[in-house]
Amino acid sequence: MFLDSTKKKELFEKYGKSATDTGSAESQIALFTVRIAHLTEHLKVNHKDHSSERALKMLVGKRRRLLDYLIKTDIERYRAIIKELGIRK
């Protein structure tokens, strides 16, 4: 897989509270963003891969729900993660 455990730990260290913080909204959003970018590049080459296209849409929806949760609970954390990851709404 394109994301091995060391890369995931680095993501969780950077965006979560620690290397083992896999459940916080920020770390999950960061992980989904990396996976979305990978699938987007894959679909640029393989435009007929409909199952990957569906997976991409599902990931984007999951990330959107997490961002909506974060905006309701803590607007400052939302703004920080949007700015760090370069996600626009």
Could you tell me the pTM of the whole model?
0.90
Q: Which two tokens stand for residue 41?
A: 């590049």
Q: What is the pLDDT of residues 11-20, one digit of tens each?
A: 999 998 888 8
pLDDT digits (tens, 9 = 90+) for 37-70: 999 999 999 999 999 999 999 999 999 999 999 9
As a whole number of angstroms, the distance between CA 31 and CA 58 comes to 14
**Which residue, 68, 65, 70, 1, is CA-closest to 34?**
1
Give percent above pLDDT 90 in the chain: 74
Distance from CA of residue 14 to its chain's centroid?
A: 13
- Output the pLDDT for position 52: 95
Backbone angles phi, psi at 28, to 5 degrees: -65, -40
